[in-house]
Structures are given as C-alpha cells and as structure tokens.
Amino acid sequence: MAPSDESPSGANCRRLEGKVALVTAATAGIGLATAERLAQEGASVFICSRKASNVEETVAALRGRGLEVSGCACHVGSAEQRKQLVEACVQKYGGMDILVSNAAVNPGAGPLAETSPDVIDKILDINVKAAVLLVQAALPHLRKRPGASIVFVSSVTAFNPPEPIAMYAVSKTALLGLTKGLAAELGPEGIRVNCVAPGIVPTKFSAALVETPELAAQQASTTMLKRLGRPQEQAAAIAYLVSPDAAYVTGETLVVSGGMHSRL
C-alpha cells in the first residue's frame, strides 16, 4: 500500500535518530502511518504484513521518499514467523530499540453471548496471545538497547466494548492490562511499555463503521471534536511515546479519540 501524501506536523524533528523500530501490520492504516512517522524522525524501520507483495510495495514507496525502511511477510500468529521477523529485523539493522505491536483481527461481529468459540479463539490468539509472544521474542534484543520501549495499539472501544464488535473490543481491553503488567516487570530494566487507544479512524480495518456518509457522521458525532481521526494523528502519539520526550512515561494508555468516552 502506498503511504499517505499528508505529512504529519512535527515530522521534521529527529527524535529517533539512530533507533531501530519494528512495526507490525504496517502496510496500511495506522501501522503504515506509524512506520512512515518513525522513519521521518530518523529511525530505521522494519515492517511486516501477512502478504509479501504488500510489504514490498510499501517498502518501495517509503524508500522512494528517502526513508530507511525494510520488511518481510509475517503472520504474527505463527511462532516460527514471529521468530523469523525479529531475527530479520536484527540482522538488517543490528538490533532493536522500539517494538510497536499493531496487528489485530476481527473475524466476526455480533453479541458477546452468541460469539462462536472459533471467533473467540482467533481474536484472542492474534490480538492478545501473539502480542505477548512477540514481546517475548523481541525482549532479548530490546534489553541490549538503553531507552528501549514497547507500544501496543489498543482501541477506545476497550473502555466500553460495543455491540457488534464487543469481542474484538474485549481483546483490546486486555492490552490495557498487558501494558500495566509488562511496564511493572520491565521498568526496573529501563524498558518502557505504553499503549495507544485510537478512536474511530477511517481505515480498511474500520470500514464497516464508516461505510456510508450517515455512519461516518454518526461516529463523528460521538467525539468532542465532531470529526473522525486520521492515521497520522495516531502515529504522532506513538512517535511521542517511543521518543526521549516520553522518557518518564510508562504503563500508560494514551487515548487519541477526539474526546470519546474512555474510562473503564
């Protein structure tokens, strides 16, 4: 996927010069905007997606902008592919300072009380289990780099899981707890762990929520700013959290939702 032509404000700052970032699910939407933003701030960025063709297209587009980006195909639900992803990043750039866990699925919609076991398994496997195991795979390398950090991409729906995506939202609620737990464990080692909870951002992943002008307007009306979010705004929040500017921030979830309700 080609990156957006809309450059985020502040992208000319170089807070991440010399850093290496691994960003999952980074060929579209928030993941792509994050890869672009981190690279603009000076990081060498390694990306992945399930389809090799999407990775190749995205890497070529970002390199065409003069950004240092590489990548490979990876299904984060596969232990072997997760291991290969981390090894490929470290082999390419010599280490890892930043991990942005962005991959997620939502294979079904409907009431929680009627969600099938296979849908529950897939959502928890990719959105929660794979996120934990990816951290485990990356930690030996993050531990070697002073100021290393991890960011999980959750969702504002984590605070009040709505039908018909409640099961997906519950998996995002789990990431809030994962952030707190890992931050407490890794803080003494100097590794920061934070989370971003995006609001409604029109991407392919959230297309069902904004597929008509009426639906989009309804979603925008739930925000204080009365508009939908942009991937670049989420990327800016992630860039802050992994930068030295957030050196004393860990265990936190930064809600970037235009003022939508965000309390458990």
Residues 157-211 pLDDT 10s: 999 998 889 999 999 999 999 999 999 999 999 999 999 999 988 766 555 566 6
Q: Hey, is 69 helix, strand or coil?
A: strand
Predicted pLDDT at 5: 47
Cα 52 versus chain centre, distance: 19
Best CA proximity match to 32, nearest among 49, 51, 18, 16: 49
Spell out the domains of the chain, with CATH numbers in brackets: 20-255 (3.40.50.720)
Q: What gap in Å lies between CA 48 and CA 22, rounded to an integer?
A: 8
Angle at alpha carbon of residue 157, lines to 152 and 161, rounded to 5°? 125
Percent over 90 (pLDDT), the chain: 81
Split at pLDDT 50, 70, 90, the class of 9 is: low
Predicted pLDDT at 205: 58
Helix (H) or strand (E) holding 162: none
Predicted pLDDT at 218: 81
- Alpha-carbon distance values, 68 to 31, 92, 166 (Å): 16, 11, 38
Residue 147: exposure state from Cβ atoms within 10 A (0-12, 13-18, ≥19): middle
Residues 104-147 pLDDT 10s: 999 988 999 999 999 999 999 999 999 999 999 999 999 999 99
Q: What gap in Å lies between CA 106 and CA 110, rounded to an integer?
A: 11
Q: Hey, is 239 helix, strand or coil?
A: helix
Q: What gap in Å lies between CA 155 and CA 262, rounded to an integer?
A: 10
As annotated, the active-site residues are 168
